[in-house]
Structure 1
Amino acid sequence: MFVNYADQVEVVKLVAGKQVTSKVDIALYDSFAQSDNDAESVTKVVNNPLVSKTVIYTWNFNQALISKAKSVGVCGFLSKTLPAKELVEALIAVHQGKVVVSPAPTGSNPVGGTWPGREEGLSYREGEVIALITQGLSNAEIASAVYLSPNSVKSYIRSAYRKIGVTRRSQAVSWGMRHGFSPTTW
């Protein structure tokens, strides 16, 4: 994504759950399938002395989530649908001290993005729900984490189960583990 911007951006990958061990200007935090304890994870990144600024990279533009992130010191809330040029411009603005919130994406399958499960036919939200099931969350916990009603979560679960060919939660967890839905792969 940043190949054409190598003179402006250097990307260093960090596996989920691992500590930052060297100085970074901006941590681009991917919020895919993070549960409610995600606020704790984000706060740890924000408070890490090796991280100058933290930006959330997401499709979830719930106002409560944005406010919560800003309250712990997040400097940006950027859409995964942003073209590379706009993403780089936003990151540069954050680096210069601005707080940047990009416009919310529209539609259930944002164009240009990818997520675990997309290749298997899952929508972004279905993939996110399966990832949270794989983490062991209940339907109520999933609803709270992704700001949906419990009935909406059940609908996404039914739809995802049909697409991946499972009928029980234990089968969905097993499928998720086999298909890269463990948090360390995001």
Structure 2
Amino acid sequence: MSEFKVLIADDHAIVREGLIAMLNLADDIRVVGEATNGLEVIEMTEKLRPDVVLMDIRMAKLDGIQATREIKTRFPEVNVIALTNYDDDEYVFDCLKYGASGYLLKDVSPEDLLQAIKSAAQGESLIDPAVLNKVLTQFRHLARDSSDHADKLSPREKEVLKALTAGLSNKEIARQLCITEQTVKAHFSSIYRKLNVTTRSQAIVGAVKNGLVDLNR
């Protein structure tokens, strides 16, 4: 069984201890370290090379958004999940823009958090449904025509993007579109290249912001 290495970044000891106690109950997840601020999590990421970083947003010395940006720039293979109390549009957008694989609120269920960690470690993403709905609603009035991007995407790629904005996993997208998971991954590779992005979260932001999916259908 493969084991996923997790690094926790949060400035509250009680939060770190609670997360460690919960994650240690999973056979395939190992907590490799704790960081208390943004600078420390970057240093520990370089040293420990975790599969996933659970990142708080508001921390001393360097906030979680800038820490995410630095980690994804220097260590693109490391996946970052924002785990926070804040669902502000700006926080969500910046985290996803800088490459976070997921954005979850701290009231997330243990089951969903475990699934998010495993999904992120395997290149997928998970965004809290309430947060995703808020971001998509906010982007509805910001969406603009982007024919250059739209012309590059095939009808099937647009269907895959629409399913992604609904929060579906690769397996669920494959089932919904009656294609294989390998085909879904191939579509994502093509979408990333055409939109000039590197993560599913960035693809969501790009798709909605540029009006590439119809959110009302």
- What is the TM-score of this pair, normalised by structure 1? 0.49
- What is the TM-score of this pair, normalised by structure 2? 0.42
Higher relative contact order (CA 8 A, sep 6+): 1
Structure having the higher helix fraction is 2
